[in-house]
Amino acid sequence: MDTEQQVAKHYSHGALENAILDALKASGTKIDRLATSDLAGVDEFHLGWRAATVEIAKDLGLSSAMHVLDVGSGIGGPARHFAEAHGAQVTGIDLTDEFVQVANALTRRCGLADRAHFQQASALALPFKDGTFDAATMIHVGMNIEDKAKVFSEVARVLRPKAHFAVYDVMRTAKGDIPYPMPWAATAATSFVRTPDDYRDMLVGAGFKIEGEVSRRDLALKLWEEMRRKIAEQGPPKLGLHVLMGEAAKPRLANVISTLERGIIAPIEMVART
């Protein structure tokens, strides 16, 4: 089994759409027509959650005139936000076929299928013509990809001139062990966490000019503490990342937060331009 197959297997659930719909029904939500806010507990599978997605969209200057590529789109949370809040046309690709199927199904239930579409594909070989997109995002995906330089080259190829690319990944910011399991990998075999310097070098090597960089470590820790406090007061939500990750959610989240607190990793956004 190659790395991409291992990554897809790591994220596969088996009955994810039903699990999400069951959790929504248990919380009293009508599932025939969903609002994107109904899915907020599960469809932002990255540190900083919806708040980080909102900032990424602002940094890219998204508008209804733009066609956006979301590399590693998961079950579609960021893409649906880009489509709903900014009117953008969004194409998402993901290795995990189940994520793609669920992303399209949830997008239909949100009434956004005319603006956001998802397909199974590898970031190492994007199935699009040169110069197809006006902007691109890659949100907490690079940790599963060893050859990031190839991905960045592929994204540069499918972007139009002077288009922007937002990379938002967990990056190594200090020495120290990274414990497993993590949300993105059960073992180090499919985990490729790199430093911001590495990312900058590879983006520039692919022809990008870096225009901005920000760490969202403090935001992620602040929001995590708020979630912990809310759970302590009100109990766990019906719909949360535990639905996405199953029984593995608790140790994975504990490991990523403890490593974040120790300053070994941080979620960092870089905005680059072709």
- In tens, the pLDDT along 85-99 reads 999 999 999 999 999
Give yes or no for a contact between 48 and 220, defined as CB atoms under 8 angstroms apart: yes
Structure confidence at residue 247 as a pLDDT band (50, 70, 90) = confident
Q: What is the pLDDT of residue 41?
A: 87
Between helices 49-60 and 217-234, what is the axis angle to 10°? Answer: 150
Q: How far is CA 223 from CA 47, 48, 168, 228, in A?
A: 9, 7, 17, 9
Average pLDDT for 103-112: 97
pLDDT tens digits, 142-170? 999 999 999 999 999 999 999 999 999 99
Kindly report the CA angle at 257 between 80 and 261, in degrees rounded to 5? 125
Mean pLDDT of the chain: 96
Alpha-carbon distance of 4 to 237, in angstroms, equals 32
Residue 238 has pLDDT above 80, yes or no: yes
165-222 pLDDT, tens digit per residue, is: 999 999 999 999 999 999 999 999 999 999 999 999 999 999 999 999 999 999 999 9
Average confidence (pLDDT) over 64-79: 98
Question: Helix H segments across the chain?
Answer: 3-11, 16-26, 49-60, 77-86, 97-109, 148-158, 196-205, 217-234, 241-245, 249-261
pLDDT above 90 as % of the chain:
91
Is residue 63 very low, low, confident or very high in pLDDT (cuts 50, 70, 90)? very high
Residue 1 has pLDDT above 80, yes or no: no
Count of H-run helices and E-run strands, the chain: 10, 7
26 CB neighbour count, 10 Å cutoff: 10
Residue among 132, 50, 62 at smallest CA distance from 91: 132
- Average pLDDT, integer, range 1-22: 92
pLDDT value, residue 179? 97
Looking at domain 3-273, which CATH architecture does it have?
Answer: 3-Layer(aba) Sandwich (3.40)
| Confidence class for position 103, pLDDT limits 50, 70, 90 | very high
Give the model's pLDDT for residue 236.
Answer: 87
